A and B are shown apart, each in its own frame.
Chain A
């Protein structure tokens, strides 16, 4: 505010006023009046933060000014305002004598004005000062003013507090950038080469010749099925999950081929996939995504990613480069072993006669809290009958699916759910290692599939067969692949859900044949 000098007090309003009055009296000046605005406000039923003005002066100080111009009498005697703001700070404000002289056009009274200014700043400084005055400091009002925070002064713009604020501004910048940087680091923006779910999903798209909108990034070709699961009650001693209580629950599933190509030839791979969602009576769900391999070819997400890269078609031949695969197997001996086992055991088969394995281990917890590590398999039942796969792929790219459709239309297909109980020595967190064949196996129920629909119309298209959607009583093991599968499935799901999907290879008409 123009012409108003305001300094902060180290004291509250009452103390500041007391000291101010004492200092005025000590200098032989007269206090003419004290007007307590806030007390008056309170009497009027209004609220005003502490605000009180003191009128003081001395005829020898003011008269020469009024002799120069009588109108300055409106601004005399001198005034000091003590006020407390809402933040609890107390301030002392007074009119700058130089500004008053200027206001009334008084010239040639510089010496009187300077004396007055000096006296006022000394009085003000003493009234607000907390510490014992340093000898000599009281005679340097400018220094005192600098030590206080000055809100407004037209005469001393250089005394803005900004100069001392720069280190604090830097501190604030460091805090804000630090928090934002931590956030960016947590989101892997600062480590672009880190292996993330996004990167694996991107790689699935790349090795399959770009994204196929609306389709799963892996196991793109498939067909939806429905049915039910009948529990025989044998699972109760291992898991408290309500699915193992004797009884029946509805099932939604999807048979699929591996890879991200939605129109691939059924003969392109001996690998078969089955995803299942069990809807438990209490509203819980159990989802599982299985394939027919005896073990999984990789142990870690990093190995999975590198193995996926080896399947990328070479630009020259259009086929995966075998040298890349050799390098991969040399780097990951556990994968070399796993592939050996897979190649000796995996034979092409129809979906109906395929055994699907959980591959990863899970923890079952029963009602007493006992934990059992298990793997499980869905083993085709006798009703499946022999399936002729000799002509797979020779005439019909959808041979396997057509065969499955025909079988289900003839009669329901069945698989037995067999859980394999781990021994303490078995690999729980390594899906590349088989468990010895003599491990205890328990048949806990039967899966019956009696309905089949195209991915274009079935519900399973909108289901993410996330292997970690589990009911209470089944939990993830420490196998690092499980969390990674959950993360990448979610990434794939999110991508395809927002995309327009082209018709599936297995059309609604085909599933009705």
Chain B
């Protein structure tokens, strides 16, 4: 008899943690580089290709999400918690895809070459236009802060369930699946 809570599909858990690391790194690179003089160039050179990698993975993840059955919500989540969790999941997916696209579009509108690495670069996805650039540049920042705030909310909720309610919520997303009976705490 299963003693552990049901988990997300294995590939979903891999995608979750891989993208968690990439997104968190990306948010910190982004906020550091715009305030940096000496490291600006190095960080921008990482920011661009990492953003495109996140875009690709986010699309893979969205497809995986559409074709994977989720484990049910634990009974320790109240109806309003479930609604917030579903809404924030949608928001996270939307931002994971929108942020790189806005960045790409912003560079296109700003007449910048979209350099990945070496001579490899991407084509523009929007026409060059100063006002469009200005709007997208602002949008990029606002979306990034929104993503960070959503991440903090997500982290708070998981920590609260895992540490205070102690319902082993985190186990649902754990990369491992240890056998044996559930130990309290």
Q: Is the pair A14, B38 in contact by a Cβ cutoff of 8 Å?
A: no
Q: How far is the CA of A168 from the CA of B160 in the complex (A)?
A: 8
Residues of chain A within 8 A of B41, CB atoms compared: 468, 476, 482-483, 486-487
Shortest CB-to-CB span from B108 to chain A, Å, is 12
Q: Is the pair B35, A172 in contact by a Cβ cutoff of 8 Å?
A: no
Q: Is the pair A175, B112 in contact by a Cβ cutoff of 8 Å?
A: no
- How many residues on B have C-beta within 8 angstroms of the other chain's C-beta atoms? 61
Q: Is the pair B40, A10 in contact by a Cβ cutoff of 8 Å?
A: no
Shortest CB-to-CB span from A360 to chain B, Å, is 12
Q: Is the pair B168, A497 in contact by a Cβ cutoff of 8 Å?
A: no
Closest to B134 in A: A498
Closest to A467 in B: B41
B18 in contact (CB, < 8 A): no
Contact with B along A144-175 (1 / 0, CB 8 A): 00000100000000000000010011011001
A180 in contact (CB, < 8 A): yes
A347 in contact (CB, < 8 A): no
Select one of A88, A171, A198, A497 contacting B163, CB under 8 A. A171
Residues of chain B within 8 A of A464, CB atoms compared: 110-112
Select one of A86, A487, A497 contacting B36, CB under 8 A. A487
Q: Is the pair B119, A498 in contact by a Cβ cutoff of 8 Å?
A: no
A314 in contact (CB, < 8 A): no
Given A284-B121, A471-B119, also A87-B75 (CB < 8 A): yes
Q: How far is the CA of A11 from the CA of B1 in the complex (A)?
A: 11
A463 in contact (CB, < 8 A): yes
B166 in contact (CB, < 8 A): yes
Interface residues of A in 282-298 (CB under 8 A from B): 282-285
Residues of chain A within 8 A of B35, CB atoms compared: 186-188, 194, 196-198
B12 in contact (CB, < 8 A): no
Given A86-B72, A472-B118, also A301-B38 (CB < 8 A): yes
Residues of chain B within 8 A of A486, CB atoms compared: 40-41, 44
Q: How far is the CA of A469 from the CA of B114 in the complex (A)?
A: 10
Residues of chain B within 8 A of A480, CB atoms compared: 37-38
A248 in contact (CB, < 8 A): no
Q: Is the pair A282, B1 in contact by a Cβ cutoff of 8 Å?
A: no
Residues of chain B within 8 A of A283, CB atoms compared: 113, 121, 123
Residues of chain B within 8 A of A165, CB atoms compared: 164
Shortest CB-to-CB span from B48 to chain A, Å, is 12
Q: How far is the CA of A13 from the CA of B182 in the complex (A)?
A: 12
B28 in contact (CB, < 8 A): yes
Residues of chain A within 8 A of B60, CB atoms compared: none
Closest to A186 in B: B32
Contact with A along B23-45 (1 / 0, CB 8 A): 00001100111111111111010
Show 21 residue pairs from A and B whose CB-CB distance is below 8 angstroms, ordered by the A residue.
Answer: A8-B184, A12-B3, A86-B5, A86-B6, A87-B5, A88-B4, A89-B167, A169-B164, A171-B159, A172-B159, A175-B159, A176-B159, A179-B152, A194-B35, A284-B113, A468-B41, A469-B113, A484-B37, A493-B110, A497-B130, A498-B137
Q: A483-B39, A498-B134 are in contact. List 12 more A-B contacts (CB 8 A).
A: A86-B5, A88-B4, A176-B155, A183-B27, A186-B28, A187-B31, A187-B34, A282-B119, A463-B111, A464-B112, A484-B37, A486-B41
**10 A-B pairs with least C-beta separation:** A498-B134, A487-B40, A188-B35, A484-B37, A187-B31, A472-B119, A483-B41, A87-B5, A497-B130, A168-B163
